[in-house]
């Protein structure tokens, strides 16, 4: 996948992400400036997102951009669906090109920052076009700062932030990252532990959503936004490619209608690319899919969204 040391790109694995127990551990993001603080004022047209369609962490940023009504204020570059030995890459023009820096790979974005970056090369990256530097490569920070810095629906109201943060902590560890801990585990015990965590929390969410339209009641919040990218990829990718196959999302009585409810929100469907998810998660991998054969299914009907407004009152 590649990594960078003092601003210089190197092909190959960076530091190991597999512990001696066989469990998989995600590296930490290290570029963590904040819009509204220091040299980063909240200005429409100033910021740009470097993302990849099949990355769920980048999906968080795309969802925030849409739900907050920032599609005109923040521009986007989409990387090609499959990574190469150069990591995430861009075409010279077209859908998967970069109109801001003309970068042909994400590592060129990182090297364009004067900080001389060291570490993994991840998306999303929030870029300041005025200063020519990165604001952040931490998706959770990007979601929260875009919410706080710009007008639009408040995805983290002060009175709900405690609940939102509690949900975020649980969902990140056991679901968002849990599917990766299952998919990249290198021992049976590590895989089973991670997969059981995933379904324990999905079961908990399904029970909760029997009486709540959204996780924190009747309002769509950051907690829902951060859960949705995993749900959108679950049946088409994680169920098969990552062996999270105890149950399909479509088998959940309340979680599945909830996911479809979010999918039907204005602009959300445009942030989802099921075709690219399959190409990405079933790309050739020595451990997970050595032949690189992409399955033709499953066919999943995300439309129409069910009527769930009656749960608004029950969730108050």
Determine if the pTM surpasses 0.75.
yes
> Do residue 134 and residue 234 come from a single domain?
no
Last residue of a domain, one of 89, 120, 149: 149
Number of alpha helices (DSSP H) and beta strands (DSSP E) in the chain: 11, 7
Q: Is 180 a catalytic residue?
A: yes
User: What would the pLDDT profile of 78-105 be if each residue is shown by its tens digit?
Assistant: 999 888 999 999 999 999 999 999 999 9
In this structure, how many other beta carbons lie within 10 angstroms of the beta carbon of residue 32?
15
Split at pLDDT 50, 70, 90, the class of 26 is low
Domain of residue 284, CATH code: 1.20.1050.10
Set 180, 238, 258, 281: catalytic member: 180
Split at pLDDT 50, 70, 90, the class of 16 is very low
> Do residue 77 and residue 131 come from a single domain?
yes
Last residue of a domain, one of 149, 175, 201: 149
Domain of residue 55, CATH code: 3.40.30.10
Task: Dig out the tokens for 306 from the structure.
Answer: 């069910």
> Using an 8 Å Cβ cutoff, are 211 and 311 in contact?
yes
The rounded distance, in Å, linking the Cα atoms of 60 and 63 is: 5
Taking the mean position of all CA atoms in its chain, how far away is CA 66? Answer: 14
Structural domain of 209: 158-314
> Do residue 185 and residue 72 come from a single domain?
no
In this structure, how many other beta carbons lie within 10 angstroms of the beta carbon of residue 45?
11
* CA-based R_g, the chain, Å: 19
Residue 2: its pLDDT value, please?
84
User: What would the pLDDT profile of 142-185 be if each residue is shown by its tens digit?
Assistant: 999 999 999 999 999 999 999 999 999 999 999 999 999 999 99
Task: Dig out the tokens for 202 from the structure.
Answer: 């999905």
Set 3, 47, 55, 238: catalytic member: 55
Q: Is 281 a catalytic residue?
A: no
The rounded distance, in Å, linking the Cα atoms of 296 and 117 is: 40
């Amino acid at each position: 996948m590649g990594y960078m040391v003092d601003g210089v790109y190197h092909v190959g694995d960076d530091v190991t992400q597999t512990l001696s127990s066989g469990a998989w551990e995600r590296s930490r993001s290290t570029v963590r400036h904040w819009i509204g603080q220091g040299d980063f004022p909240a200005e429409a047209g100033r910021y740009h997102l470097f993302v990849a369609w099949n990355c769920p962490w980048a999906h968080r940023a795309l969802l925030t951009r849409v739900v907050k009504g920032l599609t005109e204020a923040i521009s986007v570059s989409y990387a090609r669906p499959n990574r190469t030995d150069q990591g995430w890459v861009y075409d010279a023009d077209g859908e998967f090109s970069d109109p801001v820096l003309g970068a042909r790979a994400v590592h060129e974005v990182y090297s364009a920052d004067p900080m001389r970056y060291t570490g993994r090369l991840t998306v999303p990256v929030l870029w300041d076009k005025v200063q020519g530097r990165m604001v952040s490569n931490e998706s959770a920070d990007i979601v929260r700062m875009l919410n706080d810095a710009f007008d639009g629906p408040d995805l983290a109201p002060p009175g709900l932030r405690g609940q939102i943060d509690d949900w975020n902590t649980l969902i990140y560890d056991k679901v968002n990252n849990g599917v990766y801990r299952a998919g990249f585990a290198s021992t049976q015990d590590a895989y089973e532990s991670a997969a059981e965590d995933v379904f324990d929390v999905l079961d908990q969410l399904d029970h909760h959503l029997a009486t709540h339209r959204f996780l924190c009641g009747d309002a769509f919040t950051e907690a829902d936004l951060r859960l949705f990218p995993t749900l959108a990829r679950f049946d088409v990718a994680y169920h098969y490619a990552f062996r999270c196959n105890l149950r399909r999302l479509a088998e959940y009585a309340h979680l599945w209608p909830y996911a479809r409810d979010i999918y039907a929100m204005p602009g959300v469907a445009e942030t989802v690319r099921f075709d690219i998810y399959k190409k990405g998660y079933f790309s050739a991998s020595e451990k997970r899919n050595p032949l690189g054969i992409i399955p033709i299914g499953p066919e999943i009907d995300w439309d129409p969204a069910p009527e769930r407004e009656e749960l608004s009152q029950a969730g108050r």
